[in-house]
């Protein structure tokens, strides 16, 4: 019986356990060398802090710098390492960077399942003859720029938002939330959140061009930093749809390099049209996560959909035995090690690749590029001498 055995990369001329993978024919990999002058967030932040950049200078400075950073393709060069056999293979994986195509796909993959959740309808939004009841609201929190710089507002918005959510839950009980950031054209942050309450209901009435809630003053009193806007949501899917679409457009803007959107549309219906590179660049500069979502959001919607279900019930954890003896799989003795970073493009079979396996000669070629950045390996500082 023939046994498959992993390939060990060894120095040229040494005796190998099996023939070298260099002899395996594969489609040619075209390596487009990038630029060694890579933009890094650290120096950008230092420039903002050390020179006191703020206001109009900040919002004019950041977007072009951010776009240049986003469009600089970078790959993580990984080696699969076995503690006895050495390196078994190499792979280049395109780094997920805020605003690029990899990051955009990851955002969509994470959020698209929200659109598959059952839709909970609280009231008929067309019926304006009476007041309605809802458990879902869309909230916008803003900052008063008086006495507060753009940088100060972005630095403290996360802490202020968490404090506000804690106060909201203390008053109205448990709630599931999906939150996103938006930069106003002035540069100051806005917080947008779709909030679905487990038990509390709000009295909704139609006013102007939207449904509002009677409890607005009680809620806005919990946010002392600026104006608060609240819309009553007639259904769960309506609010989630706009947020998911907003995030999808926002991160596509970063990759395509579209200009700023100057739309003045307000409220939930205008959220998507206000997506801008300015928002992306400020989130990048001040290290803000694109969105946050309550872990139990899907469970709450499903529970509301079926009044007979138990909201506390969930799937049980399942223990999986790795093999017949109860031990770990053979894969556990290998691990992926980050060898370095490389900036540029990788083209195989006529198209750019997000990930590609590297032969030894291809890895050597990358290491010879000016845009290669190596990484020191603990306990294996001589890995390049031994294997490459």
Rg of the Cα atoms in the chain: 26
Query: Model confidence over 253-298: pLDDT tens digits?
Result: 877 765 444 444 558 888 998 889 999 999 999 999 999 999 888 8
SS3 of residue 283 by DSSP: helix
Of residues 188 and 12, more confidently modeled: 188
pLDDT of residue 326: 52
pLDDT of residue 72: 87
pLDDT at residue 195 greater than cutoff 60: yes
Mean pLDDT of 331-359: 85
Q: pLDDT confidence of 374, banded at 50, 70, 90?
A: confident
- What CA–CA distance (Å, rounded) separates 295 from 309? 18
pLDDT at residue 23 greater than cutoff 60: no
Classify the phi-psi angles of 219: left when phi > 0, otherwise alpha if psi is within -120 to 50, otherwise beta. alpha
Residue whose entry in the numeric block shows the structure tokens 């370095």: 340
Of residues 75 and 4, more confidently modeled: 75
Tokens read off for 167: 């106060």
Query: Model confidence over 214-223: pLDDT tens digits?
Result: 999 999 999 9
Q: pLDDT confidence of 164, banded at 50, 70, 90?
A: very high
pLDDT at residue 112 greater than cutoff 60: yes
Mean pLDDT of 366-388: 63
The secondary structure of residue 120, as a DSSP letter, is P
SS3 of residue 50 by DSSP: helix
pLDDT of residue 2: 37
As a whole-number percent, the residues of the chain with pLDDT over 90 amount to 41
Q: What burial letters (b/e) apply to 87-100, b meaning 16+ CB within 10 Å?
A: bebbbbbbbbbbbb
Q: Residue 257 burial by CB count (10 A; 0-12/13-18/19+): exposed, middle or buried?
A: middle
Class of domain 111-305: alpha beta
Q: pLDDT confidence of 17, banded at 50, 70, 90?
A: very low
pLDDT of residue 133: 93
Top mean-pLDDT range of 238-247, 255-264, 303-312, 342-351: 238-247
Query: Model confidence over 306-336: pLDDT tens digits?
Result: 754 443 433 333 343 444 455 555 555 788 8
Contact 174, 199 (CB under 8 A): yes
Contact 235, 136 (CB under 8 A): yes
Q: Could you tell me the pTM of the whole model?
A: 0.80
pLDDT at residue 1 greater than cutoff 80: no
Domain boundaries, the chain: 26-98+335-380, 111-305
Residue whose entry in the numeric block shows the structure tokens 């393709």: 73
Compute CA 226 distance to the chain's CA centroid, rounded to the nearest angstrom: 27
């Amino acid at each position: 019986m023939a046994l498959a055995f992993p390939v060990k990369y060894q120095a040229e001329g040494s005796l190998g356990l099996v023939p070298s993978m260099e002899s395996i024919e594969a489609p040619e990999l075209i390596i487009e060398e990038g630029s060694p002058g890579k933009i890094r967030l650290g120096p950008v932040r230092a420039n903002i802090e050390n020179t006191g950049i703020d206001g109009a200078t900040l919002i004019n400075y950041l977007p072009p710098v951010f776009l240049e950073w986003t469009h600089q393709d970078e790959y993580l060069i990984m080696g699969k390492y076995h503690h006895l056999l050495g390196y078994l293979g190499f792979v280049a994986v395109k780094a997920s960077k805020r605003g690029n195509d990899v990051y955009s796909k990851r955002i969509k993959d994470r959020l698209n399942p929200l659109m598959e959740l059952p839709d909970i309808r609280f009231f008929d939004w067309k019926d304006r003859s009476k007041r309605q009841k809802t458990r879902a609201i869309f909230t916008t929190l803003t900052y008063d720029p008086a006495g507060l710089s753009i940088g100060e507002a972005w630095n403290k918005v996360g802490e202020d938002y968490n404090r506000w959510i804690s106060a909201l839950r203390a008053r109205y009980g448990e709630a599931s939330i999906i939150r996103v950031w938006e930069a106003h054209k002035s540069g100051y942050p806005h917080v947008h959140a779709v909030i679905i309450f487990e038990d509390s209901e709000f009295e909704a009435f139609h006013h102007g061009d939207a449904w509002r809630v009677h409890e607005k003053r009680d809620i806005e009193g919990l946010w002392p930093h600026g104006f608060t806007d609240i819309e009553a949501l007639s259904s769960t899917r309506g609010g989630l749809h706009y947020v998911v679409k907003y995030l999808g457009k926002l991160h596509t803007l970063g990759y395509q390099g579209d200009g700023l959107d100057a739309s003045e549309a307000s409220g939930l219906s205008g959220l998507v049209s206000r997506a801008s590179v300015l928002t992306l660049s400020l989130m990048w500069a001040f290290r803000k996560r694109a969105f946050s979502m309550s872990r139990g959001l899907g469970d709450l919607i499903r529970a509301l959909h079926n009044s007979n279900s138990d909201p506390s019930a969930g799937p049980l954890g399942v223990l999986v035995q790795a093999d017949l003896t109860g031990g770990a799989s053979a894969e556990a003795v290998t691990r992926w090690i980050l060898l370095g970073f490389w900036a540029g493009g990788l083209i195989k079979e006529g198209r750019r690749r997000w990930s590609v396996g590297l032969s030894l000669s291809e890895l050597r070629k990358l290491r010879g590029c000016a845009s290669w950045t190596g990484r020191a390996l603990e306990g294996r500082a001589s890995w390049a001498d031994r294997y490459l």
